[in-house]
Structure 1
Amino acid sequence: MNKKITTAILMGSVALALAACGNPAANDKVQEPEASQAQEQKADMQKSDANSFKTIFQDSVFLGDSITEGLSFHDVLNEKNVLAGAGKTAEFSLKDIAELTKRNPKQVFIQLGSDDILWRADDPIAYSMKNYAKLIGMIKEKLPQTRITLLSVTPVTEDAIKMEPRYKNIGDYNQAVKELAGKEGASFVDLSPIFSNSPDFYDADGIHFKPDYYTKLLELLKEQTK
């Protein structure tokens, strides 16, 4: 009799142990779909935002350098709404006038300067402003009904400045762009509020950006389209 009781107790203990071991796995199975669902919801929201921005800015063109090019690279805007490329300066962008005219946007956002301040000239800012003014003049001539908005150059990280000290001139360049906008009757938008809380928008080089930055950028600029 005692042998039977002992055997029953032992079997019961094994069953309880197996049940206990099974609980974490069961919990994991409950949590994994929740985590997956949260990721899917986030992806759906990002896709929804992207589609919304593509509609809001469907009649706009963003003209600029590799910073601006990120808008289409990260599929935040369609390629037809972005006319940009690595190394673009105000001078080099003069060659884009024909293509810009062909696209005939209602509004053009211009963001140049990240490469201009690295230009090897006696006064890179003055040289850039001369060509920037010429660029605006050509847009006015070819597209007189198009609204022009100038955007400030985005800041870089401290590490990027250590690698390239000329980035210290971004503030002076932005002041020159603001004054140029006033002189030429264009709008000017300071993008510094996007970085007020120092979010982790930067790619590894401390100059270019992750997709989240472009969402914040367009959120800031959408009022300009009204």
Structure 2
Amino acid sequence: MDMRKKITLTILMGSIVLSLAACGNQSADQSAVQPVSQAQGREGAASGSTVKVYQQTFENSVFLGDSITEGLSFHDVLDEKNVLAGAGKTAEFALEDIEELVKRKPKQVFIQLGSDDILWPTDDPLTYAMNNYAKLIGMIRDKLPEIQITLLTVTPVTEEAIKKEPRYNTIPDFNLALENLAGNEQVGFVDLAPIFKDSADMYDSDGIHFKPEFYARMLDLLKEHVK
């Protein structure tokens, strides 16, 4: 074999070796990336599955409340049909939602009001709110005699929020009044305080409203109270 043929053969063999090495490296890279992609898929499926469980569990329930409650549908944790809430809603304003509540025909209603009642411009916001709460319970019972009614406590706010609005200091008093009202009216009552024991980073930037994590924790707590 002359020198030119040897050189040509050497170059050809070198090219084959390099090609095989490149293919091997590409396969190794693909196998390294693949598990990450699969893990991401499982995480997404788990999240969607959890939301579906919430929606099934609370399928026959309606959450009646203010902007705190509205976060359930805003963050897509529950369907809008299960949430009857809005910013600035007080127990008095919620009386206007009775007809809509009746149309939805829920088996259970969770009432989460108070964050705005505390700020209502009246001489005695607490008494004023409890009177309207009692009216609300009575009207719901009148229209939906078989419905289960459960009152939820007013959620706490951050220290920074209290500095800006000192009236939030009355939240504990308001919650005690709610508990007493629930006993007098013989309706359900759930204290949401346990949700906040292990986590303080669920608050939105205003220190009053919440990130999606809060709503998942709240529903985990409430699912045991679904009738």
CA distance in 1, matches of 2:145, 2:226: 17
Q: Which amino acid aligns with 2:88?
A: G
In structure 2, relative to structure 1, the CA distance for the partners of 1:184 and 1:47 (3 Å cut) is same
In the superposition, the TM-score normalised over structure 2's length comes to 0.84
Q: Which residue of 2 aligns with 1:154?
A: 155
CA distance in 2, matches of 1:65, 1:190: 17
Q: Which amino acid aligns with 2:99?
A: A
Q: Deviations over 1:83-142 (max 9, x none)?
A: 000000000000000000111110000000000001111111110001000000000100
- Displacement of 1:38: 3.5
Q: Which residue of 1 aligns with 2:179?
A: 178
1:74 paired to 2:75: yes
Unaligned runs of 5+ residues in structure 2 are 1-20
Q: Tell me the SS of whatever aligns to 1:91.
A: helix
In the superposition, the TM-score normalised over structure 1's length comes to 0.85
Identity of aligned residues (%): 64
After superposition, residues 171-210 of structure 1 pair within 5 angstroms as 171-210=172-211
CA distance in 1, matches of 2:53, 2:104: 21
CA distance in 1, matches of 2:34, 2:99: 52
In structure 2, relative to structure 1, the CA distance for the partners of 1:92 and 1:39 (3 Å cut) is same
Q: Which residue of 2 aligns with 1:123?
A: 124
Q: Which residue of 2 aligns with 1:4?
A: none
Q: Which residue of 2 aligns with 1:55?
A: 56
Q: Which has the larger radius of gyration?
A: 2
Q: How many residues align?
A: 204
Q: Deviations over 1:150-200 (max 9, x none)?
A: 000111111111111111111110001100000111010000000011341
In structure 2, relative to structure 1, the CA distance for the partners of 1:137 and 1:212 (3 Å cut) is same
CA distance in 2, matches of 1:31, 1:104: 53
In structure 2, relative to structure 1, the CA distance for the partners of 1:179 and 1:40 (3 Å cut) is same
Q: Tell me the SS of whatever aligns to 2:199.
A: coil
Q: Which amino acid aligns with 1:66?
A: S
Q: Which amino acid aligns with 1:225?
A: V
In structure 2, relative to structure 1, the CA distance for the partners of 1:123 and 1:47 (3 Å cut) is same
CA distance in 1, matches of 2:31, 2:124: 63
Q: Which residue of 2 aligns with 1:15?
A: none
Q: Deviations over 1:19-76 (max 9, x none)?
A: 9xxx9x9998766554444343222211101001101111000000000001111111
Q: Tell me the SS of whatever aligns to 2:91.
A: coil
1:164 paired to 2:158: no
After the TM superposition, list the runs of 4 or more consecutive aligned residues in structure 1 that deviate by more than 2 angstroms. Answer: 25-43
1:112 paired to 2:110: no
Q: Which amino acid aligns with 1:38?
A: A
CA distance in 2, matches of 1:83, 1:174: 21
Q: Which residue of 2 aligns with 1:145?
A: 146
Unaligned runs of 5+ residues in structure 1 are 1-18
In structure 2, relative to structure 1, the CA distance for the partners of 1:153 and 1:39 (3 Å cut) is farther
In structure 2, relative to structure 1, the CA distance for the partners of 1:105 and 1:29 (3 Å cut) is same
CA distance in 1, matches of 2:40, 2:118: 40
Q: Which residue of 1 aligns with 2:224?
A: 223
Q: Tell me the SS of whatever aligns to 1:83.
A: strand
Q: Tell me the SS of whatever aligns to 1:212.
A: helix
